[in-house]
Structure 1
Amino acid sequence: MSKRPTRADAARNYDKLVEAAQELFHVEGIEVALDKVAAEAGVGIGTLYRHFPNRTALVEATFRTYSAQIVDDGWRRLETESPDAALAGLFAAYMSTAGTKRGMKEAILAAVGDDAEVFDETRTRSRELTAAILEAGRRQGVFRDDVEPDDVSRLLGGLSMTCVPSDTTDTRDRLIKVVLDGLRPQD
């Protein structure tokens, strides 16, 4: 597993590489040439390999970063929005990156397996956020009492698996509304 380095210049290069990988993986897929990722980041291929000894390490770091961005945004939303709006934002974020992250997940599964540390890390962080959103929503009466964080995780995964490149924001929003309506208390 590749961790973000502590030296300032190394950390900047790491961040630039992951940012370039995010963009290129999204546009061209995870099989994009690594020298193209390095060029997009403005560093040499040797710098890329110092941080990421192989494609899988770069894919894992990019997957971790995508997931961290989604969860961090979810926590910010929970602080500033209603719990149901925060959960809708979480669903939308996962769905908007579903195609790219799905390709990454498959690559990690093929190279490392189901027990890859990055999966445990991201699931744990996402479930903590989901539990906090559900608890806040229950206190405000917007979510049913019988819904568990794992239920929402499965719904997130299921909706993400249905995403296709042609989906519009309206399509995603409609699906999210259907799910959120099912999480609301019944009258």
Structure 2
Amino acid sequence: MGSSLRADAQANHDRLLEVAARAFAREGADASLKAIASEAGVGIGTLYRRFPAREDLIEATYRAETTRLADSARTLVATRPPVEALAAWMADFVAYMRTKRGMAEALPAILATREGLRLRSREALGEAVATLLRHGAAAGVLRSDVTAREVLMALGGITMISGHEEDPALAARLVGLLVDGLVTARGAGTGGARGSE
């Protein structure tokens, strides 16, 4: 019985964070907490018990989305060809940055008071990109002379520009160009970058 209750509580927690991520991406940091609770299928009291302040929910959402994105690299390299895996991860990164941009007003203050959170997030995402690049380089279809840091910087630029232009389709096109630039002559025929759009 106890383990069933714990499982239900964890499911509620995970669902709250998934709904919050979508709401923050759509409406920004001021998204209605009542609407988030309602969409997640829980009462507002449940939300406040888990996240007493809006900042607590924003921080938990940021952590969960960062972890989900970082962990997805291992699944992608195990289930998709290297170029397709990289393209899919980059598309997820763009969506992640859209959520993060929605929380932009509140995040700096949160990150400033949570020691090491920004650095740990950057390291986790860097390792995810490195995993994808190593996988592709070992298969001979991705360049081996590019660092994870360089790829993350390029992705950051893409999300900044497409966000400024308010054009999600632009992000997809620029990600496709970035992937194409990372593909070796041997991998050029895989169609992975275009196939992910």
TM beyond 0.5: yes
Measured after TM superposition, the shift of residue 74 of structure 1 is 2.7
Aligned length: 180
One-letter code aligned to 1:98: M
Change (3 A) 1:118 1:181: same
Measured after TM superposition, the shift of residue 116 of structure 1 is 5.0
Q: Does structure 1 residue 60 correspond to structure 2 residue 63?
A: no
Change (3 A) 1:182 1:62: same
CA distance in 2, matches of 1:19, 1:133: 25
Measured after TM superposition, the shift of residue 184 of structure 1 is 3.7
Change (3 A) 1:92 1:114: farther
Q: Secondary structure at the match of 1:7?
A: helix
What TM-score do the two structures reach when normalised by structure 2?
0.77
Measured after TM superposition, the shift of residue 52 of structure 1 is 1.0
Change (3 A) 1:23 1:139: closer
Given that 1:74 and 1:89 are in contact with CA atoms closer than 8 Å, whether structure 2 keeps it comes out as no
Change (3 A) 1:173 1:52: same
CA distance in 2, matches of 1:21, 1:116: 23
- Unaligned segments of structure 2, at least 5 residues: 187-197
Given that 2:70 and 2:125 are in contact with CA atoms closer than 8 Å, whether structure 1 keeps it comes out as yes
CA distance in 1, matches of 2:17, 2:176: 32
Percentage of identical aligned residues: 38
CA distance in 2, matches of 1:92, 1:149: 16
CA-to-partner distance for each residue in 1:129-158, whole Å, 9 max, x for gaps?
A: 211111122222223332111111212222
CA distance in 1, matches of 2:12, 2:80: 34
RMSD, matched Cα:
2.6
- Larger RCO: 1 or 2 (CA < 8 Å, sep 6+): 2
- Unaligned segments of structure 1, at least 5 residues: 1-5
* Further displaced range: 112-121 or 158-167: 112-121
Match of 1:3 in 2: none
Measured after TM superposition, the shift of residue 61 of structure 1 is 1.3
Change (3 A) 1:104 1:13: same
What TM-score do the two structures reach when normalised by structure 1?
0.80
